[in-house]
Amino acid sequence: MKRNVVRGVRIERVPHEPARAELPFTVDHFDQDDNLIETLGRYADLTTGRAAFAAAVRHRPQRRFCLRHRAQVVARHEPGG
């Protein structure tokens, strides 16, 4: 939280964090048993989500990734497949 003083009045600025509903696309990392290890990122649109998914696959091709729109699977990467 950032604080500023303007004309003797203290103002607190809270950065806007979008609600999860505003970021429906996720790039997730799974283990071999289909357990979610971590969500790498949340995105507002499909184009950004696809770019992040492609970067994750390029960076770690031996891992399992999934691009989802809420519960729907948009793209999946399986190592060696």
- Give residue 11's pLDDT: 65
Q: How confident is the model at residue 80 (pLDDT cuts 50, 70, 90)?
A: confident
Q: Measuring CA to CA, how many Å separate 76 from each of 7, 9, 28, 51, 61?
A: 54, 52, 10, 13, 12
CB 11 within 8 A of CB 53: no
Query: How many helices (H) does the chain have, and how many strands (E)?
Result: 1, 6
Give per-residue pLDDT as tens, 9-68.
Answer: 766 666 666 666 789 999 999 999 999 999 999 999 999 999 999 999 999 999 999 999
- Give residue 16's pLDDT: 64
CB pairs under 8 A, 24+ apart, for 31-37? 31/64, 32/64
